[in-house]
Structure 1
Amino acid sequence: MGRRLRGGRRRVRAGAAVRHRARRQPRVRRPHRRDRGARRRPRRAPWGRLAARTKRRRPFVLVTLAATAGTLALVPLASSPAAVLLLNALLWFAVSAAVPVLNLIVVEGAPVDEWDGRIASLNAWQGYGWVGGLVVGTVWTGVAPRFGVDGVAGQRLLFFVLAAVAATALVLARAWYPEPASVDPDRYRRVSRRFSRTDWGAGRVLRGSLYGPSRIYWALTAAGGRGGTGSLRSLLVGVPTRLRRYLLAVAVFSFGFAVFWGPVPAYLKADLAEGAVFAVYLAGNLGSAACYTPVGRLAGRVPHRTLQAAALAVRCVLFPGVALVTAAAAGALLPVYAVAFGLIGVTWAVIAVTTTGIVTRLSDEASRGRALGLQAAAAGAATAVGSAVGGVVAGAAGYLVAFAVAAAAVLAGIALLLASR
């Protein structure tokens, strides 16, 4: 009995001491259930958000240009189709990853009313650059044999020239786009000592990149997390519900675009000569490039979702219409194709400008880089899947069925777009 009383007195004294310390210390709020769930997610995702908050843009631009120059220089040295496909994938990875960064650069510090015009202007420059590249590549390929240069050798030489152009752009970007230092030198030295000198390779750069399709890396890492703590849903922690719904719409209608574009090259090549196929692609790209700036002005007067839904609805008609109309106009295929793909290019100008505008408005300044990266990753993943599906459907059921499936997916995307208001 005495032993029990002494134990009780010890417990009472211990409890009193704890209460005394609690009165002297600031009270700490118990984490909310949502906070605890966020704390359990993979630690690398906050690193991406931290990089967005630092507003570092220049390194991503320079890395993209360096990767582009290196990839273009390696293509002529490739000795197998698999190597060429891999380098092509790396090139598209680098280019796609740069797009959200460029969108951030053009809207930063600008009033909201100017965003659409700036985004449209950026897309216009990119569009005309793309058209110029198509023209240069085609002219080079046609002219080189006249000077005694073999076709394959001429194409290899062209890649080296393009690599030099990209390297020149890297030098100019480094000189013309300085990024002011935002970290105190003493603090930088303290933080840099914490990192291992042996862990500054490409792996860290890839894992730290928060833009473009590199977001897919986070998704795959989270899906394979140990202990069940990782999931794709962790990427969307903190993303507003309206933005989540819109990203789903982007993924669905991007899937539909890819289902259409996947079998298009084979479809056109069955009816047209190589030069005519180039003319059709040129018509589509010219349609986009010429309409970016007018669309930017129009987006300032018409709600973005309304404008985008209208462009998507036009694509729902054009995708299967390409197969139906061209089947009826067998004697004038090239003009019909040029008009159809020119209109498809015009709709892309509307979709590109309004998509960036919607995502930019649905996110705050601190999370805008992450939101644009998620949008690009969603579109990139959907494009990869949609291209494969389009090829399979076209091979099994024909081009008309494939284009109809593409239109159905775009129609589903319109429904999700309108539901995400």
Structure 2
Amino acid sequence: MAPDATTRWLASMVPFKSAEGVTAPVVPILATVLGAGASAIGVMEFLFQTMMMAGAFTWGHASDRFRLRKPFLVAGFALAGLGILGMGLAPNFATMLPSRMVMGFGMASIGAVGGALLADLSQARDLGSRIGLLNAVGGVGYTVGLVGGGLVVYWYTDLAPGWLFTGAGLLALVSIPMAVRLVREPDDIAEEDGTDLAYADEDTPTIEVTQDRTYSPFVFVHRPEELSVTRRAAAFLSSIFLVYLSMSAVMVLLPLYLLEVGGGSEAAVFLVFVVHSAVSAFSFTPAGRLADRIGYRTTQVSAMTLRMVAFAFLAMPLFATTGPIAGVFVVVGVSTAVIASTGPATLFKGMPFRERGELSGIFNVATGAGKATGSITAGLIVAFAGFPSLFLLATMMTGAGTMVTAYIAYPEGARF
């Protein structure tokens, strides 16, 4: 897909995602250096995700209300970059915590408004592949950051973690001028080109709720005609909540698991994260295309099942070293690409422009709630029951999300 006015802006995400990749594996390590334990790290990540939840709906609703995407996306880059920079300069955990929360609030805009912007500039029939492209660009940037951070840690073993965050924060701020230059409002593009990119295709299957409001046709269990749209949405979002809860529970303390149980180094931590991120980055676009072709539910259930099996393997002592864990995260990376590509596309199908930002925010609230719950749960479980119990819980939560998704039924003719 050649870059054009509808996709060129994605380049502005690369510096920030690279900065996120540099810092993501080191967040619990930096917190430990600054005096935090596993429970405190779990609380910090809970607050981080809570800020992402609050920000997702706030940014999304505001961008719909003012019918603007660019200012909110730029503001998100600014806050997130300043948050990373603040973490690098923090002298103790008490000052690291608010910076992490600022980062979360800024990242919420990047997810909610960025996703809505891409949906505005896409046709419904290829929405899955376009969401996949969004995630692929972000994944490539994230992977580049992971590789760079891993090399720095490998070459400079005595480097304080704070320096990584300081450099990454400055890198993240590069996204601001790029977004100012590259992001264009959907209405401006539509007016110049004489097209109506800001609205879904006329042939998109929808369910009419009121005279001027439509929703994507996902329905739940056996008698969909008797269920409200709100309940259908709740069924879908509950599965997203469970899947992101389990993923967050595993990822938030994975660096400590690799260091304390697996006997690895900080470079080994980066290696596992690079494997997961690289596989995801190269799977996002194919996953979106596959979902457009065979349906979103089929691809989602398959991906969730793969992730459930992968987490079950992590609970086995045989998989307590870096090599097997990296192998597990090849599978997890593929599932991440599918879930991240199909989830937003399912909700965006058939939605009018004026509601996409808010809906994107609601989706990110569901993912953020799962991540927040998983973060604080992980800290408590590891503190009292150990890592194997954590991985078993993640397996069960992923299985529950898979079952909910498998029982979502869609109207005939809707490829979901």
Please indicate, yes or no, whether the TM-score normalized by the shorter chain is above 0.5: yes
Query: In the alignment, which of 295, 298, 312 is matched to residue 303 of structure 1?
Result: 295
Q: How many angstroms apart in 2 are the aligned matches of 1:92 and 1:156?
A: 18
Answer whether contact 1:320 1:400 (CA < 8 A) is retained.
no
Query: In the alignment, which of 280, 286, 301 is matched to residue 288 of structure 1?
Result: 280
Q: Percent identity?
A: 27
Q: How many angstroms apart in 1 are the aligned matches of 2:61 and 2:252?
A: 34
SS in 2 for 1:165: helix
Q: How many angstroms apart in 2 are the aligned matches of 1:48 and 1:286?
A: 29
Using the TM superposition, give the Cα deviation of residue 63 of structure 1 relative to its aligned residue in structure 2, in angstroms: 0.3
Using the TM superposition, give the Cα deviation of residue 397 of structure 1 relative to its aligned residue in structure 2, in angstroms: 2.7
Query: In the alignment, which of 274, 279, 288 is matched to residue 271 of structure 2?
Result: 279
Partner of 1:166: 172
SS in 2 for 1:129: helix
Q: How many angstroms apart in 2 are the aligned matches of 1:362 and 1:113?
A: 10
Match for 2:305: what amino acid? Answer: A
Answer whether contact 1:258 1:383 (CA < 8 A) is retained.
yes
Q: How many angstroms apart in 2 are the aligned matches of 1:156 and 1:265?
A: 16
Q: Residues 75 and 388 of structure 1: is their aligned pair in 2 closer, same or farther, counting only changes over 3 Å?
A: closer
Q: Residues 311 and 46 of structure 1: is their aligned pair in 2 closer, same or farther, counting only changes over 3 Å?
A: closer
Q: How many angstroms apart in 2 are the aligned matches of 1:321 and 1:77?
A: 38
Match for 2:296: what amino acid? Answer: H
Using the TM superposition, give the Cα deviation of residue 160 of structure 1 relative to its aligned residue in structure 2, in angstroms: 4.1
Answer whether contact 1:52 1:370 (CA < 8 A) is retained.
yes
SS in 2 for 1:308: helix
The question of 1:246 aligning with 2:222 is answered no
SS in 1 for 2:294: coil
Larger helix proportion of the pair? 1
Using the TM superposition, give the Cα deviation of residue 158 of structure 1 relative to its aligned residue in structure 2, in angstroms: 4.5
Query: In the alignment, which of 249, 252, 255 is matched to residue 265 of structure 1?
Result: 255
Using the TM superposition, give the Cα deviation of residue 263 of structure 1 relative to its aligned residue in structure 2, in angstroms: 3.7
TM-score by length of 2: 0.68
Q: How many angstroms apart in 1 are the aligned matches of 2:273 and 2:58?
A: 41
Q: How many angstroms apart in 2 are the aligned matches of 1:417 and 1:55?
A: 32
Using the TM superposition, give the Cα deviation of residue 412 of structure 1 relative to its aligned residue in structure 2, in angstroms: 1.5
- Higher relative contact order structure (alpha carbons within 8 Å, sequence separation ≥ 6): 2
Stretches of structure 1 lacking an aligned partner (at least 5 in a row) = 1-44, 183-237
Partner of 1:22: none
Cα deviation code 1:101-126 (max 9, x no counterpart) = 11111221422112111111110110
Answer whether contact 1:141 1:151 (CA < 8 A) is retained.
yes
Q: How many angstroms apart in 1 are the aligned matches of 2:354 and 2:343?
A: 19
Q: How many angstroms apart in 1 are the aligned matches of 2:257 and 2:312?
A: 13
Aligned pairs for 1:80-229 (under 5 A) are 80-144=92-156, 151-152=159-160, 155-179=161-185
Partner of 1:312: 304
The question of 1:392 aligning with 2:380 is answered yes
Answer whether contact 2:60 2:361 (CA < 8 A) is retained.
no
Aligned pairs for 1:34-49 (under 5 A) are 49=61
Q: How many angstroms apart in 1 are the aligned matches of 2:136 and 2:187?
A: 31
Answer whether contact 1:243 1:363 (CA < 8 A) is retained.
no
Could you list the runs of 4 or more consecutive aligned residues of structure 1 that deviate by over 6 angstroms after TM superposition? 45-48
Answer whether contact 2:252 2:378 (CA < 8 A) is retained.
yes
Q: Residues 95 and 396 of structure 1: is their aligned pair in 2 closer, same or farther, counting only changes over 3 Å?
A: same
Partner of 1:17: none
Query: In the alignment, which of 324, 339, 361 is matched to residue 351 of structure 1?
Result: 339
Answer whether contact 2:243 2:398 (CA < 8 A) is retained.
yes
Aligned pairs for 1:322-341 (under 5 A) are 322-324=314-316, 327-328=317-318, 333-341=321-329
Using the TM superposition, give the Cα deviation of residue 300 of structure 1 relative to its aligned residue in structure 2, in angstroms: 1.6
Cα deviation code 1:312-331 (max 9, x no counterpart) = 1111111121222xx2367x
Cα deviation code 1:146-198 (max 9, x no counterpart) = xxxx723xx5554444333333321222122244899xxxxxxxxxxxxxxxx
Aligned length: 312
Q: Residues 142 and 171 of structure 1: is their aligned pair in 2 closer, same or farther, counting only changes over 3 Å?
A: same
- How large is the RMSD of aligned CA atoms in angstroms? 2.7
Q: Residues 260 and 176 of structure 1: is their aligned pair in 2 closer, same or farther, counting only changes over 3 Å?
A: closer
Rg larger in structure: 1
Q: How many angstroms apart in 2 are the aligned matches of 1:49 and 1:329?
A: 44
Answer whether contact 2:139 2:277 (CA < 8 A) is retained.
yes
SS in 1 for 2:174: helix
Answer whether contact 2:133 2:284 (CA < 8 A) is retained.
yes
Q: How many angstroms apart in 2 are the aligned matches of 1:245 and 1:170?
A: 37
Using the TM superposition, give the Cα deviation of residue 358 of structure 1 relative to its aligned residue in structure 2, in angstroms: 1.1
Answer whether contact 1:243 1:362 (CA < 8 A) is retained.
no
Using the TM superposition, give the Cα deviation of residue 366 of structure 1 relative to its aligned residue in structure 2, in angstroms: 2.7
SS in 1 for 2:73: helix
Q: Residues 72 and 240 of structure 1: is their aligned pair in 2 closer, same or farther, counting only changes over 3 Å?
A: same
Using the TM superposition, give the Cα deviation of residue 255 of structure 1 relative to its aligned residue in structure 2, in angstroms: 1.8
Partner of 1:189: none
Stretches of structure 2 lacking an aligned partner (at least 5 in a row) = 1-56, 189-227, 410-416
TM-score by length of 1: 0.67
The question of 1:417 aligning with 2:396 is answered no
Using the TM superposition, give the Cα deviation of residue 335 of structure 1 relative to its aligned residue in structure 2, in angstroms: 2.6
Q: How many angstroms apart in 2 are the aligned matches of 1:157 and 1:386?
A: 28
